[in-house]
Amino acid sequence: MQFTIQATDSGSRARTGLITTDHGLIETPIFMPVGTAGTVKAVHQRELTEDIKAEIILGNTYHLYLRPGLDVLSKAGGLHRFNGWDGPILTDSGGYQVYSLSGTRKIKEDGVTFKSHIDGSPHMFTPEGVIDIQRTIGADIIMAFDECTPYPCEYGYARESMAMTHRWLQRCIDRFDSTEGHYGYRQTLFPIVQGSTYKDLRQQSAEVIAGHNREGNAIGGLAVGEPAEEMYATIELVNNILPADKPRYLMGVGTPENILEGIALGVDMFDCVMPTRNARHGILFTTQGVINIKNEKWKDDFSPIDAELGGYASSFYTKAYLRHLIKSEEILASQIASLHNLTFYLWLVKQARHHILDGTFVSWKNQIVKKVMQRL
Amino acid sequence: MQFTIQATDSGSRARTGLITTDHGLIETPIFMPVGTAGTVKAVHQRELTEDIKAEIILGNTYHLYLRPGLDVLSKAGGLHRFNGWDGPILTDSGGYQVYSLSGTRKIKEDGVTFKSHIDGSPHMFTPEGVIDIQRTIGADIIMAFDECTPYPCEYGYARESMAMTHRWLQRCIDRFDSTEGHYGYRQTLFPIVQGSTYKDLRQQSAEVIAGHNREGNAIGGLAVGEPAEEMYATIELVNNILPADKPRYLMGVGTPENILEGIALGVDMFDCVMPTRNARHGILFTTQGVINIKNEKWKDDFSPIDAELGGYASSFYTKAYLRHLIKSEEILASQIASLHNLTFYLWLVKQARHHILDGTFVSWKNQIVKKVMQRL
């Protein structure tokens, strides 16, 4: 994987770049749609490329490991071949999902034991095992196995957890560097900065992660309930330490505002379930603001969902029709809303990119954040 | 509405024709995807035209009347404007849905009282009211209000029900002929033959319906549980009486075999929830036979769903991937399977049309029925 910085903004830490993978190019800053179980929910693969213009999607190790399972993925020749998405894929380590199985999982130095949410069967994830799984899934970018601490988190727990995440990282690196991809293309491993919201821990973690000198680095454990200002302060602190010439990935973030502020702080890659999950609940992100399409006020609004954004879902379907579909619990509601929200998210980062290149990023950001975050 | 017969088959009653509506042409024989609540479930409007190549879709009066309701549909300028499907639309009368609310509905001479499945609110459908509703929905082809008898049905009940359906038909015609469409294009009214599986009743009903000399005629009350042979015998009897120069619509039918046998008996139009409903349960109709994609045998079958059929869903996605999606209860499973099944159904009637024009219909039908109805 290669990363080239193309332009840096004079008024912020924002930059544009180009990531080269064996499955294609990624222009940064970029938003990555989440494809949990090998599918970006309610979205056809051709819609990802042709309408949403996604450049990289996510897969979830936990879900893919349980279903369809490694045997099928291996026989298919990896996730790209299995689901037909031929562009770059990033997989998370499965840690985040496993921790959220709070009743059934146990975290120990060796790894994490948990029970499948599908059939209750017992499993164990170790740093080495998770690398092996991601080798089999065949993601272009694979993530280290970390513990994502909750918020708030006691200092002692956050410190111990971070230290274990660092030890696990070394085990991940050892495994990764002593193995090869299964399918003939290159994979790369991103380590993850943890440390909750404690400045000294975040600094320490960022230094450890930077010291490994991998091809890209991630910031985890944010957007878990902490105030936005605390998140931004943490990103700023961490990004001052993470190498500037490597892509920085802010995991699981966030709202349009979070993303634009993240870009301003030097983040290059984002993922979040928000555009697709909120879509399924009728929350739309538009160029004019946030819409709860279930509200009565849209009942006979026959204007397009978002004429300014354009694209199929946003300009062909009306607000009134989408409201009807979601009130009627029709599948097409999820399809339209997901297509629209993802198109908006990709548009947003592409706009940010243009404005960084133009040298107008900060003023544009400050205006657009107010506009797109207002409730309509 | 105009109907022109283009070719008739020498070996059967099959024919090809062209229906002209103000929303476009329909080449018959045709299958009409069911769009219950103003949406063909899990299918985008552009997929209907570009992939499935649908020429006419159905709407359900009962569902549309309750949600979004006539106020919204009227303000939108009718269902075409509301849902963005610009081709011909046929609406059923709502009768079938109302009767299936068996616990809460009462059938009387004046009409049917029932309670909404959504909020329990009381409503009444009368022949006149149902015409008014379909005028407001704005379907190109609107159906008379009938009673669809169950199977088996006692002779006495079937006879009385049929007689009431005929009286209701006169009321529908009186209302239809004394009103106009709301949106500037023409609508037409199809009456419906009933009479259960009793030959004398079916003959009597077909004569009454034929005597009204409307622009098209429908056969109702079939595919409700009777043996296929009884259904075919009834169609044959009725089609000998219904005028040959008007399109014949066999309501709610059916399997690929039912449709091909119906075409052989002179039916021109079909609708059925089977391709979409079965899709959502993982049952696929393919050029090679019927597939239950949930079966273990497809787990690592990485061949396309139906390479011979072609088209996006059928050639891009594999059986193993679709199986994974449906086992994981992913929305995309319904999207892919619905798109595939409807593409197959439209392909099937288009193939039938070609073979009628070629003079090879019967031999083709006898071969293809065996092939597409076998369980794989």
B302 with A330: Cβ contact below 8 A: no
Q: Which residues in A176-195 are b (16+ Cβ under 10 Å) and which e?
A: beeeebbbeeebbbbbbbbb
**Alpha-carbon gap: B80 to the closest alpha carbon of chain A (Å):** 11
| A contacts of B321 (beta carbons < 8 Å) | 38, 82-84
**Closest-approach residue (CA) in chain B for A300:** B72
- DSSP 3-state of A113: strand
B72 with A300: Cβ contact below 8 A: yes
**Alpha-carbon gap: A312 to the closest alpha carbon of chain B (Å):** 9
**Alpha-carbon gap: A60 to the closest alpha carbon of chain B (Å):** 13
**Alpha-carbon gap: B357 to the closest alpha carbon of chain A (Å):** 35
pLDDT digits (tens, 9 = 90+) for A47-73: 999 999 999 999 999 999 999 999 999
A39 with B325: Cβ contact below 8 A: yes
Report the greatest alpha carbon distance in chain A. Answer: 61
B330 with A72: Cβ contact below 8 A: no
| B contacts of A300 (beta carbons < 8 Å) | 71-72, 75-76
Long-range contacts of A242-246 (CB under 8 A, 24+ apart): A242/A193, A242/A206, A242/A209, A242/A210, A242/A217, A243/A210, A243/A213, A243/A217, A244/A5, A244/A15, A245/A3, A245/A5, A246/A3, A246/A214, A246/A215, A246/A216, A246/A217
Q: Are strands B141-143 and B188-190 parallel, antiparallel or unpaired?
A: parallel
| B contacts of A83 (beta carbons < 8 Å) | 321
- The average pLDDT across A236-261 equals 98
Catalytic-labelled residue, pool B9, B51, B92, B306: B92
B37, B312, B316 member nearest A328 (Cβ): B37
**Alpha-carbon gap: B72 to the closest alpha carbon of chain A (Å):** 6
B332 with A76: Cβ contact below 8 A: no
Surface-to-core class of residue A329, CB atoms within 10 Å of its CB (0-12 exposed, 13-18 middle, 19+ buried) = exposed
Tell whether ipTM is more than 0.95: yes
**Closest-approach residue (CA) in chain A for B83:** A321
B42 with A335: Cβ contact below 8 A: yes
B300 belongs to the catalytic site: no
Residue A94 predicted with pLDDT over 80: yes
pTM, 2 dp: 0.98
| B contacts of A302 (beta carbons < 8 Å) | 75-76, 81-82
d(CA A101, CA A68): 20
**Alpha-carbon gap: B326 to the closest alpha carbon of chain A (Å):** 11
d(CA B210, CA B193): 9
For residue A106, give the amino acid letter. K
B245 belongs to the catalytic site: no
Is residue B234 within 8 Å of B267, Cβ to Cβ? no
| A contacts of B43 (beta carbons < 8 Å) | 332
Is residue B290 within 8 Å of B305, Cβ to Cβ? no
B39, B46, B336 member nearest A325 (Cβ): B39
| B contacts of A67 (beta carbons < 8 Å) | 324, 327-328
| B contacts of A299 (beta carbons < 8 Å) | 68, 72
Per-residue pLDDT of chain B (376 residues; tens, 9 = 90+): 999 999 999 999 999 999 999 999 999 999 999 999 999 999 999 999 999 999 999 999 999 999 999 999 999 999 999 999 999 999 999 888 888 887 788 999 999 999 999 999 999 999 999 999 999 999 999 999 999 999 999 999 999 999 999 999 999 999 999 999 999 999 999 999 999 999 999 999 999 999 999 999 999 999 999 999 999 999 999 999 999 999 999 999 999 999 999 999 999 999 999 999 999 999 999 999 999 999 999 999 999 999 999 999 999 999 999 999 999 999 999 999 999 999 999 999 999 999 999 999 999 999 999 999 999 9
Closest to A61 (Cα-Cα) out of A105, A123, A119: A123
Per-residue pLDDT at A103: 79
B300 with A42: Cβ contact below 8 A: no
B330 with A37: Cβ contact below 8 A: yes
B67 with A316: Cβ contact below 8 A: no
